[in-house]
Amino acid sequence: MALFASLAVLTALLINPHGLASACTFTIVNGCSYQVWPAILPTVGSPMLANGGFALAAGQSSSLTVPFGWSGRMWARTGCQFDSGGQGSCLTGDCGNKLQCNGIGGEPPASLVEITLNGAAGLDFYDVSLVDGFNVPLNLCPSGGSGACTVAGCVNNINYNCPAELQLIGNGQVVACKSACLAFNSPQYCCTGAYTSSCGPTRYSQIFKSACPAAYSYAKDDPSSLYTCKNPYAYTITFCPARLSC
Question: Domain-by-domain residue ranges, the chain?
Answer: 2-239
**Cα–Cα distance, 39 to 48 (Å, whole number):** 11
pLDDT tens for each residue of 27-78: 999 999 999 999 999 999 999 999 999 999 999 999 999 998 999 999 999 9
Whether 97 shows a pLDDT value over 50: the answer reads: yes
DSSP 98-155: BSS-TTPPPPSS--EEEEESS-GGGEEEEEEE-TT-BSS-EEEEEES-BS----EEE-
Helix (H) or strand (E) holding 206: helix 203-211
Looking at residue 21, its pLDDT comes to 52
pLDDT digits (tens, 9 = 90+) for 154-213: 999 999 999 999 999 999 999 999 999 999 999 999 999 999 988 999 999 999 999 999
88-106 burial: b if 16+ Cβ within 10 Å, else e: eebbbbbbbebbbbeebbb
Q: Tell me if the bond preceding 109 is cis, omega within 30° of 0.
A: yes
Alpha carbon separation from 98 to 73, 91, 92, 110, 238 (Å, rounded): 18, 12, 13, 17, 22
Helices (H) and strands (E) in the chain, counts: 4, 14
* Mean pLDDT over the full length of the chain: 90
d(CA 86, CA 36): 15
Q: Does domain 2-239 have CATH number 3.40.50.460?
A: no
Alpha carbon of residue 227 to chain centroid: 13
The 10 Å Cβ neighbour count of residue 45 is 12
